[in-house]
């Protein structure tokens, strides 16, 4: 039996092209907002999720930079990475610091500063999340990989461009109510379908953007959280899995076994099924990803993700809202920060503080954060208390 | 009270310039040797320590690559980084996977493939372990940073070039008996003192080399280890700390507060003092580092590291042997692998299997792995059972 761990504070920066702020400044801003939210000024340990601060900023060793500039000298700190799932792993690692008995109050920070390099360099850095020897070196990039998945899904299940586009419409609708979002505006189905083609069938508005930003959560044992007389949520399940690094090694381009395994493990640990979950934040790096993830989670049967999206199942007022925050599409995708920001949104909803985008009676949340073309995935189950 | 965790398997590759092997091949080779050593073929989770596979190999996401090529599909895996302390953190994270109750049999792999780039690119990648904004960008590299520390130590305590050189002589002596070492040969005091100057006062033979290599350890709860009827060691203490990323922000150039704090925490957790420790593997990235670390550990008083080295205290047959493996200087320093290899050597000694370099009656070991100019440090205490 593992120790119960609570999220006692959340914070994030405005996401976007933050040219006037450095990598460390962005990380520290989110961390300070989180500590302010919790009313805590000293932590026992820090975890930092960042995918590629080496390639983006020539700065490894964020495990020293973040505590140093946060005024938390001598604390144990660790940077974790699993491509775009780095943020989710920062939260898992913070959980392990506490559940293992090594630390009590642990801060998890996710950060990425992606606009300090030009577009080609950013594409190169992001491609290092794929198989360098068998994919990236030969020229394929992530829009191309996900386009192959989209084409396969359309071929196998009849998923349509309109259905893919509705994912973006829904997420931009939600994100238009999120003050932290990079692109807080609505888009129409026609705008998405007619946007510039990136990799057939995907248009620009099916793709998440390049973003600077950070997010942070503060964790503590539940017995500590109780004494603080503030709202908190509890992490009741964590599931984590990996798959082949190269997309071509999978049995099917239409399935995400790591997402399925991770989510089943998380639900099992929480003693729940997907039917017990009220809403989810998932990894919509491309519109097809949200459709494939909802199928892998068991929200709908394989092939039904597109029709269900058109029918409003995953809308804010639907039976299973997905990405109330606006998702990666509208909120932005500073890769190492995304997984932490999913937890920030989940806790915000569970605390009933999500403002215009508040989901009614939100008691149980699922977050799903993914690396590469589904080569790693981590799911957290969070519950209101 | 945390769960007791044992090291039930160890493995490492020959270290050197492994141009004929890829990053993933090196990691998998060490992992397979470790699994063979333990007689285990399926693990519950994997941690990977690597400092900068992005800058060295354009390959992030080793958390997917390593389990994939090791034939351990769907296992949870995480890559951790804290510059040259990444390996030590991989072992700590594996410990947390077990002690938190999330996993049972966990493999920690440390790997770095540094010779796929040229010397200038390697220097650039390594400098990302320093403060990019305030150190590396302005042109200083690690030999320069440690040279300043050496000069300060010589000025404050009268440490001599001969004493610095004796560190290298001792470590090459030990490494000459290590079949995995990159430079398994002896050097004389005269050869070290007359080698090419790199950054005054440091000569080439005061510096650890650029290395390709990997190391792996397999961890399990002690109750599982007991049932396997094989020799094992127990991790009884873990201490971890960080300091300012920039050297110029420290109160003294002659002290390593993160090393001191991490080691005190580890000893406290193990219920021991430094006098209870039989030998240590420490982070001699440069000769001055070994001297400053032995002072920070409390093996000798501040300023006495140089004289103690000359007097043979830290020799293989001395009262407190340091770096029986040959240390980073002779064994090599594939940065992300070093911390794991320290544990491999410690366990090898505790099992009485270190051959010609076996320390008599080795029952309690300390390992100390450091990032940057002392900006992070992690210590493990291991005991024979």
Task: Spell out which residues of chain B touch residue A136, defining contact as CB-CB under 8 Å.
Answer: 58
- Mind listing the pLDDT tens digit for each residue in A203-212? 999 999 999 9
- Mind listing the pLDDT tens digit for each residue in B200-248? 999 999 999 999 999 999 999 999 999 999 999 999 999 999 999 999 9
User: Looking at per-residue confidence, does B116 or B3 come out higher?
Assistant: B116
Contact A264, A368 (CB under 8 A): no
Could you write out the DSSP letters of every residue in B359-373? Answer: PTT--EEEEEEEETT
- Asked if B75's CB is within 8 angstroms of A60's CB, the reply is no
C-alpha span between B25 and B13 (Å, rounded): 10
C-alpha span between A301 and A317 (Å, rounded): 21
- Mind listing the pLDDT tens digit for each residue in B307-354? 999 999 999 999 999 999 999 999 999 999 999 999 999 999 999 999
* CB-count exposure of residue A71 (10 Å: 0-12, 13-18, 19+): exposed
Share of chain B above pLDDT 70, in %: 99
Mean pLDDT over A115-119 rounds to: 95
Between strands B197-199 and B212-221, the pairing is: unpaired
- Mind listing the pLDDT tens digit for each residue in B361-379? 999 999 999 999 999 999 9
Q: Is A76 within 8 Å of chain B by CB?
A: yes
Nearest-neighbour CA in chain A from B181: distance (Å): 26
Contact B76, A240 (CB under 8 A): yes
CA nearest to A50, candidates A128, A102, A105: A128
CA nearest to B286, candidates B373, B195, B181, B178: B373
Mean pLDDT over B60-84 rounds to: 98
| Alpha carbon B258 to its chain's center | 15
C-alpha span between A215 and A201 (Å, rounded): 32
Could you write out the DSSP letters of every residue in A308-352? Answer: HHHTTTTSTTSSS-B-TT-HHHHH---HHHHHHHHHHHHHHHHTT
Element housing B237 (H / E): strand B233-242
Task: Spell out which residues of chain A touch residue B129, defining contact as CB-CB under 8 Å.
Answer: 60-61
Element housing A109 (H / E): strand A106-113
Mean pLDDT over A8-31 rounds to: 98
Residues 167-206 of chain A with CB under 8 A from chain B are: none
| Helices marked H in B76-178 | 86-99, 119-127, 142-157, 161-175
Residues 217-256 of chain B with CB under 8 A from chain A are: 238, 240-245, 249
* Residues in chain A, total: 385
pLDDT of B3? 75
| Alpha carbon A152 to its chain's center | 24
- Mind listing the pLDDT tens digit for each residue in B149-164? 999 999 999 999 999 9
pLDDT of A2? 56
Contact A147, A200 (CB under 8 A): yes
Contact A287, A329 (CB under 8 A): yes
- Mind listing the pLDDT tens digit for each residue in A238-248? 999 999 999 99
- Asked if B133's CB is within 8 angstroms of A22's CB, the reply is yes
Mean pLDDT over B84-91 rounds to: 98
- Mind listing the pLDDT tens digit for each residue in A129-141? 999 999 999 999 9
Contact B290, B259 (CB under 8 A): no
Element housing A110 (H / E): strand A106-113
For CA atoms B19, B23, B28, B31, the dihedral sign is positive
Contact A62, A54 (CB under 8 A): no
- Asked if B68's CB is within 8 angstroms of A60's CB, the reply is no
Which residues of A are designated catalytic? 84, 333
Q: Model confidence at A3, in pLDDT bands (50, 70, 90)? A: confident
Task: Spell out which residues of chain A touch residue B116, defining contact as CB-CB under 8 Å.
Answer: none
Could you write out the DSSP letters of every residue in A185-245? Answer: S---HHHHHTSPEEETTEEGGGB----EEEEEEEEEEHHHHHTTTS--EEEEEEEEEE--S
**Per the structure block, which two tokens stand in for A306?**
């597109």
Mean pLDDT over B13-39 rounds to: 98
Provide CB contacts within 8 A for B98, sequence distance 6+: A100, B3, B5, B104, B106, B219, B220, B221
Chain A with chain B: Cβ pairs closer than 8 A: 228
Of the candidates B64, B127, B257, the beta carbon closest to that of A375 is on: B64
Mean pLDDT over A138-147 rounds to: 97
Provide CB contacts within 8 A for A198, sequence distance 6+: A143, A147, A204, A206, A207
* B333 annotated active-site: yes
Q: End-to-end CA distance of chain B, in Å?
A: 20
pLDDT of B371? 98
**Per the structure block, which two tokens stand in for A380?**
């957290």
Question: By CA distance, what is A99's nearest residue in B?
Answer: B100
Q: Is A63 within 8 Å of chain B by CB?
A: yes
- Mind listing the pLDDT tens digit for each residue in B273-307? 999 999 999 999 999 999 999 999 999 999 999 99
- Asked if B68's CB is within 8 angstroms of A244's CB, the reply is yes
pTM exceeding 0.95: yes
pLDDT of A1? 45
Mean pLDDT over A66-94 rounds to: 98
Contact B354, B233 (CB under 8 A): no
Of the candidates B128, B249, B378, the beta carbon closest to that of A60 is on: B128
Contact B254, B302 (CB under 8 A): yes
pLDDT of B1? 45
How much is the ipTM here? 0.98
Q: Model confidence at B2, in pLDDT bands (50, 70, 90)? A: low
């Amino acid at each position: 039996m593992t120790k119960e761990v609570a999220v006692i504070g959340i914070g994030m920066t405005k996401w976007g092209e933050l040219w006037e702020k450095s990598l460390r400044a962005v990380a520290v801003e989110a961390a300070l907002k989180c500590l302010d939210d919790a009313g805590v000024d000293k932590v026992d340990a820090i975890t930092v999720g960042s995918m590629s601060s080496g390639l983006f900023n020539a700065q490894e060793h964020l495990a020293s930079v973040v505590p140093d500039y946060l005024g938390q000298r001598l604390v144990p700190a660790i940077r974790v990475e699993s491509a775009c799932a780095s943020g989710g792993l920062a939260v898992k690692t913070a959980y392990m610091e506490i559940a293992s008995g090594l630390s009590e109050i642990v801060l998890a920070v996710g950060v990425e500063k992606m606009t300090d390099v030009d577009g080609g360099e950013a594409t190169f850095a992001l491609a290092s999340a794929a198989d360098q020897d068998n994919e990236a070196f030969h020229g394929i990039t992530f829009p191309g990989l996900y386009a192959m998945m989209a084409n396969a899904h359309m071929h196998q299940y009849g998923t349509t461009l309109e259905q893919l586009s509705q994912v973006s419409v829904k997420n931009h609708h939600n994100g238009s109510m999120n003050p932290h979002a990079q692109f807080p505006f609505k888009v129409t189905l026609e705008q998405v379908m007619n946007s510039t083609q990136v990799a057939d069938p995907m248009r620009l508005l099916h793709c998440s953007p390049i973003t600077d930003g950070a997010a942070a959560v503060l964790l503590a044992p539940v017995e500590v959280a109780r004494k603080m007389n503030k709202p908190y949520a509890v992490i009741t399940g964590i599931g984590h899995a990996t798959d082949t690094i190269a997309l071509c090694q999978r049995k099917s381009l239409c399935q995400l076994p790591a997402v399925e395994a991770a989510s089943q493990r998380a639900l099992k640990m929480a003693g729940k099924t997907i039917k017990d979950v009220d809403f989810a934040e998932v990894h919509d790096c491309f519109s097809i990803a949200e459709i494939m993830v909802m199928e892998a989670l068991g929200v709908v049967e394989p092939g039904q993700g597109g029709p269900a999206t058109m029918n409003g199942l995953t809308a804010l007022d639907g039976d299973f809202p997905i990405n109330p925050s606006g998702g990666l599409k509208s909120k932005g995708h500073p890769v190492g920060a995304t997984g932490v920001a999913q937890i920030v949104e989940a806790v915000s909803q569970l605390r009933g503080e999500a403002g215009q985008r508040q989901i009614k009676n939100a008691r149980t949340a699922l977050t799903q954060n993914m690396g590469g073309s589904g080569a790693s995935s981590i799911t957290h189950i969070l519950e209101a208390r």
